[in-house]
Copies of this chain bind each other. A is one copy, B any other.
Amino acid sequence: MIIILKEGVSANAVDNILGKIKDAGLNTHMSVGASKHIIGVIGDTTKINVGQLMTQEGVEDIRRVSEPFKTVNRKFHPNDTHIAVGNGFIGEGFFSVMAGPCSVESEEQIIEIAKSVKASGATCLRGGAYKPRTSPYAFQGLKSEGIRLLLEAKKITGLPIVTEIMSASVLDDFADVDIIQVGARNMQNFDLLSELGHSKKPILLKRGLSSTMEELLMSAEYIASGGNENIILCERGIRTFENYTRNTLDISAVAMLKRLTHLPIIIDPSHATGKSYLVSPLVKSAISIGADGVIVEVHNNPPMALCDGAQSLTPSEFDELMKDVKRRVEFEGKKL
């Protein structure tokens, strides 16, 4: 950590600042410049209250020089994390394909889709039971009944299931769910993250609509610092000024996050673009850049979907996609 001092700072002010840092058990080193003086802080700077330090007399600015995330930082954990899900793994060497409808609508619907995506080669079944909707008047999901239906589909197909949680108060409903998803709008619902840190279940953590990678990693840190390191990060598109796509998939984030953290990273091309015809190009892109998987919307009857039909693939489009995915995953030396 570096503390930049104001020009003409008094010796008293400097002593006060140095004292505060020493009180926190850290060492300092002073750099005397022509117009600016700088204090370098040496040691574990998480012990320092930056906000407080910022207002001390004579302080102009404070800059961090190391990342604020620790448990999820690759520096302290160089090997990739593998996460066991069902009979398989998520992470290095595997390319996971989570597929299914935006919302679970009925037993018939979810079972039909589950069988179909299983046959095409999906490794996990996705489906929304609790649905975050911008409007209170929109369909909010089948809730606990939706989870019961997902478990039914799991029993029949053997596919592990992933579904979204919106509040820790319904955590009991997720007892048999394989992966609990935290949606983009809840990425900084810190209460929820803390609760999930006490679970041992794999968590699929989606990046917020306007969140930075560092904020995503700090939210992962909330979960990890509670003891649960089974976290899968998901890039699902960020908000930009572009209108042709609903959001903008930040494909570089896959490569960058791979350097910063040991956690697996998948992408969500369906929410990122809102357009089913962009799903396949983005899946190709994700495979070649080294993502650990994708989560894709598939609906047996997109025109009748209760939400997000326009971004859903039909089962036959998904089947087509999976043929290409297999070829590409093999080309990259990975397996499904």
Q: Contact residues of A with B, CB < 8 Å?
A: 2, 4, 27, 29-36, 38, 40-44, 46, 49, 51-52, 54-57, 60-61, 63, 65-66, 68, 132-137, 139, 166-169, 185-186, 188-192, 194, 209-215, 218, 221-222, 225-226, 238-245, 248-256, 259-260, 272-273, 277-278, 281-282, 284-290, 302-310, 312, 328, 331
| A38 CA to B215 CA, complexed, in Å | 25
From B139, B189, B225, A189 is in contact (CB under 8 Å) with B189
| A260 CA to B253 CA, complexed, in Å | 26
Contact B167 A133 (CB under 8 A): no
Contact B308 A51 (CB under 8 A): yes
Contact B278 A288 (CB under 8 A): no
| A138 CA to B51 CA, complexed, in Å | 10
Chain B residues near A139: list those with CB within 8 A: 49
Contact A309 B255 (CB under 8 A): no
Contact A189 B194 (CB under 8 A): no
Contact B242 A239 (CB under 8 A): no
Chain B residues near A212: list those with CB within 8 A: 241-244
Contact B188 A132 (CB under 8 A): yes
Min distance, Cβ A29 to any Cβ of chain B, angstroms: 4
| A34 CA to B278 CA, complexed, in Å | 29
Contact A132 B190 (CB under 8 A): yes
Chain B residues near A221: list those with CB within 8 A: 135-136
Query: Taking CB as reference atom, which chain B residue is nearest A249?
Result: B252
| A215 CA to B133 CA, complexed, in Å | 11
| A132 CA to B187 CA, complexed, in Å | 12
Chain B residues near A260: list those with CB within 8 A: 244
